[in-house]
């Protein structure tokens, strides 16, 4: 079998897909079908089964540290992995806020706080989020509008054995979601879509979609992400703030179009071989 035309997709861990298991599976299958149409032999596997044999072309949704360690080893052995193990690890929130600050990504003020701390609430309204993974359950993100609520939230994380949290200042405005595929070459065009978050009250603040796109790609570049999605707040003045970004979301609303854009990007990446340059937006 031609190894250059063989690729393997690794599903996200079930515990990391709360309420999204079917959607996460669907985008992987759609991308697999699109790659097959482009002449690849595609294998889809769970993280536990993905490393039984070597593969030189890998696309992944997984997030656990132990799996990322194995992907890093595969990269050192010459495999192309999208998103890279380092980029995925950079989406862990404690890394994300540091990289956003270093690269001047427009984002809410955030800080790392010990969950057993008696530190006062850093803002009138604050989001308390686990410091590593994105939400694996609803209580991984808690809003505190009072001092009592702040300390109660810290206590809940401490009792779960989560030693640190991210305290993110609440920013007023309209919540939007975005999806993107980022290329580091002139060969492939970047792909981007955004939409208003469902079930959220909107004030309809006017803004330039190009500003949101620029902020989203700046955030992705800061982390080294090629395939990404996230949330932003459109402030009353129209400026976006990147609230969160993650590696390879479900793309549920734009699955068919996203699968084609991702497959085009992966085809170019697997054929090009050198790793993506992470410093360019």
Question: How, if at all, do strands 240-247 and 227-234 pair?
Answer: antiparallel
Helix axes 93-102, 209-223, angle to 10 degrees: 110
> Residues near 236 by Cβ (< 8 Å), separated by ≥ 6?
172, 173, 203, 205
Terminal-to-terminal C-alpha distance of the chain: 36
> Residues near 201 by Cβ (< 8 Å), separated by ≥ 6?
none
User: Domains (ranges, CATH) in the chain?
Assistant: 3-83 (3.40.50), 84-107+172-247 (3.30.470.20), 109-169 (3.30.1490.20)
The DSSP code for 146 is S
pTM (two decimals): 0.90
Q: How does pLDDT run along the chain (281 residues), one tens digit per residue?
A: 566 799 999 999 887 877 778 999 999 999 999 999 999 999 999 988 888 889 999 999 999 999 999 999 999 999 999 999 999 999 999 999 999 999 999 999 999 999 998 888 888 889 999 988 776 677 889 999 999 999 999 999 999 999 999 999 999 999 999 999 998 765 557 999 999 987 666 788 899 999 999 999 999 999 999 999 999 999 999 999 999 999 999 999 999 999 999 999 999 999 876 544 444 43
């Amino acid at each position: 079998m031609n190894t250059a035309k063989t690729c393997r997709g690794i599903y996200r861990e079930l515990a990391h897909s709360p309420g999204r298991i079917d959607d996460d599976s669907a985008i992987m299958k759609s991308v697999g079908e699109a790659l097959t149409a482009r002449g690849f032999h595609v294998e889809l596997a769970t993280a536990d089964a993905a490393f039984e044999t070597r593969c030189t072309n890998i696309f992944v949704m997984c997030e656990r540290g132990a799996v990322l360690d194995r992907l890093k080893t595969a990269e050192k052995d010459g495999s192309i992995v999208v998103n890279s193990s380092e980029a995925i690890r950079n989406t862990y929130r404690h890394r994300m806020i540091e990289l956003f600050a270093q690269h001047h990504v427009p984002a809410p003020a955030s800080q790392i706080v010990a969950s057993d701390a008696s530190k006062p609430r850093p803002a009138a309204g604050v989001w308390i989020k686990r410091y590593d993974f994105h939400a694996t359950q609803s209580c991984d993100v808690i809003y505190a509008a009072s001092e009592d609520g702040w300390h109660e939230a810290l206590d809940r994380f401490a009792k779960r054995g989560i030693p640190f949290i991210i305290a993110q200042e609440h920013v007023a405005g309209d919540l939007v979601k975005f999806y993107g595929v980022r290329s580091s070459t002139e060969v492939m065009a970047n792909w981007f879509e955004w939409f208003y978050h469902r079930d959220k009250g909107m004030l309809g603040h006017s803004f330039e979609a190009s500003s949101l796109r620029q902020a989203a790609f700046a955030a992705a570049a800061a982390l080294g992400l090629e395939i990404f999605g996230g949330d932003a707040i459109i402030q009353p003045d129209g400026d976006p703030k990147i609230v969160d970004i993650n590696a390879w979301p479900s793309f549920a609303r734009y699955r068919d179009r996203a699968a084609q854009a991702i497959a085009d990007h992966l085809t170019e990446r697997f054929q090009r071989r050198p790793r993506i340059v992470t410093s360019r937006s």
